[in-house]
Chains A and B, each alone.
Chain A
Amino acid sequence: MHVFADPTNLDAYLSGFLWILKLTGASAVIALVLGVLLAAFRVSPVPVLRGFGAAWVNIFRNTPLTLIIFFCYFGLFSTLGLTLSDDLNLNNFWLGVVGLSVYTAAFVCESVRSGINTVPAGQAEAARAIGLTFFQTLRIVVLPQAGRAVVAPLGSVLIALCKNATIVGTIGLIEASSVMKQLINDNGDAVIPIFLVFAGTFAAILVPTGYFFGWLANRLAVKR
Chain B
Amino acid sequence: MRMKHVAAVAAAATLALGMSACGGDGDGGSGNGGGKGIVGKAQSQKKLVIGVKADQPGLGLQTGSTYEGFDIEIAKIVAKGLGVDANNIEWKTTVSANREPFIQQGTVDLVVATYTINDERKQKVNFAGPYFVAGQDLLVKADSTITGPEGLDGKKVCSVQGSTPAKRIQTDHPKAKLQQFDAYSKCITALEGGQVDAVTTDDIILAGYAAQSQYAGKFKVVGKTFSTEPYGIGLKKDDKDGCEKVNEILKAAASDGTYKAAWDATLGKSGKAAPELDTTKLTNCGSV
Given known contacts A78-B190, A169-B161, A178-B161, is B177 in contact with A185 (CB within 8 Å)? no
**In the complex the two chains form, is A74's CB within 8 Å of B193's CB?**
yes
> Interface on B for A, CB 8 Å cutoff?
96-101, 104, 124, 156, 161-163, 177-182, 186, 189-190, 193, 195
**In the complex the two chains form, is A181's CB within 8 Å of B97's CB?**
yes
| Whole-angstrom distance between the Cβ of B161 and the nearest chain A Cβ | 5
- 28 residue pairs of the A-B complex, CB under 8 angstroms, read A74-B186, A74-B189, A74-B193, A77-B195, A78-B189, A78-B193, A78-B195, A79-B193, A88-B156, A88-B177, A88-B179, A169-B182, A172-B161, A172-B180, A172-B181, A174-B161, A181-B97, A181-B161, A182-B161, A185-B162, A185-B163, A186-B162, A188-B98, A188-B99, A188-B100, A189-B101, A189-B104, A191-B101
Q: Which residues on the A side are within 8 Å of B99 (C-beta)?
A: 188
| Whole-angstrom distance between the Cβ of A193 and the nearest chain B Cβ | 13
Which 7 A/B pairs are nearest by Cβ-Cβ distance? A182-B162, A188-B100, A185-B97, A78-B193, A185-B162, A88-B177, A172-B180
- Please name the residue on chain A nearest to B96 by beta carbon: A185
| Whole-angstrom distance between the Cβ of B51 and the nearest chain A Cβ | 13
- Please name the residue on chain A nearest to B159 by beta carbon: A172
A170 touches B (CB below 8 Å): yes
Distance in angstroms between the alpha carbons of A20 and B236 in the assembled complex: 38
Given known contacts A74-B193, A181-B161, is B179 in contact with A172 (CB within 8 Å)? yes
Distance in angstroms between the alpha carbons of A204 and B98 in the assembled complex: 27
- Please name the residue on chain A nearest to B193 by beta carbon: A78
State which residues 63-110 of A face B: CB under 8 Å. 74, 77-79, 88, 92
Q: Which residues on the A side are within 8 Å of B161 (C-beta)?
A: 169, 172, 174, 178, 181-182
**In the complex the two chains form, is A188's CB within 8 Å of B101's CB?**
yes
| Whole-angstrom distance between the Cβ of A15 and the nearest chain B Cβ | 13
Partner of A188, one of B124, B178, B179, B193: B124
> Interface on A for B, CB 8 Å cutoff?
74, 77-79, 88, 92, 169-172, 174, 178, 181-182, 184-186, 188-189, 191
Given known contacts A78-B189, A188-B101, is B181 in contact with A171 (CB within 8 Å)? yes
Distance in angstroms between the alpha carbons of A189 and B124 in the assembled complex: 8
- Please name the residue on chain B nearest to A192 by beta carbon: B101
Distance in angstroms between the alpha carbons of A59 and B124 in the assembled complex: 48
- Please name the residue on chain B nearest to A92 by beta carbon: B179
Distance in angstroms between the alpha carbons of A172 and B181 in the assembled complex: 5
**In the complex the two chains form, is A184's CB within 8 Å of B97's CB?**
yes
Distance in angstroms between the alpha carbons of A69 and B229 in the assembled complex: 34
- Please name the residue on chain A nearest to B182 by beta carbon: A170
| Whole-angstrom distance between the Cβ of A94 and the nearest chain B Cβ | 15
17 other A-B residue contacts (CB within 8 Å) besides A88-B177, A181-B162, A184-B97: A74-B190, A78-B190, A78-B195, A88-B156, A88-B178, A92-B179, A169-B161, A172-B161, A172-B179, A178-B162, A178-B180, A178-B182, A181-B161, A182-B161, A182-B162, A186-B162, A188-B97
Given known contacts A169-B161, A170-B182, A181-B161, is B193 in contact with A189 (CB within 8 Å)? no
Distance in angstroms between the alpha carbons of A79 and B100 in the assembled complex: 39
Distance in angstroms between the alpha carbons of A77 and B181 in the assembled complex: 15
- Please name the residue on chain B nearest to A173 by beta carbon: B180
| Whole-angstrom distance between the Cβ of B260 and the nearest chain A Cβ | 33
Distance in angstroms between the alpha carbons of A39 and B162 in the assembled complex: 42
Distance in angstroms between the alpha carbons of A172 and B163 in the assembled complex: 13
| Whole-angstrom distance between the Cβ of B23 and the nearest chain A Cβ | 15
**In the complex the two chains form, is B162's CB within 8 Å of A188's CB?**
no
Q: Which residues on the B side are within 8 Å of A78 (C-beta)?
A: 189-190, 193, 195
Q: Which residues on the A side are within 8 Å of B97 (C-beta)?
A: 181, 184-185, 188
Q: Which of B104, B178, B182 has the most CB of A within 10 A?
A: B182
Distance in angstroms between the alpha carbons of A169 and B161 in the assembled complex: 9
**In the complex the two chains form, is B100's CB within 8 Å of A189's CB?**
yes
Distance in angstroms between the alpha carbons of A132 and B266 in the assembled complex: 75
Distance in angstroms between the alpha carbons of A204 and B124 in the assembled complex: 33
| Whole-angstrom distance between the Cβ of B49 and the nearest chain A Cβ | 18
| Whole-angstrom distance between the Cβ of B153 and the nearest chain A Cβ | 14
Partner of B104, one of A77, A92, A174, A188: A188
| Whole-angstrom distance between the Cβ of A211 and the nearest chain B Cβ | 33
Distance in angstroms between the alpha carbons of A169 and B182 in the assembled complex: 8
Q: Which residues on the A side are within 8 Å of B101 (C-beta)?
A: 188-189, 191
| Whole-angstrom distance between the Cβ of A160 and the nearest chain B Cβ | 21
Distance in angstroms between the alpha carbons of A169 and B124 in the assembled complex: 29
Q: Which residues on the A side are within 8 Å of B181 (C-beta)?
A: 170-172
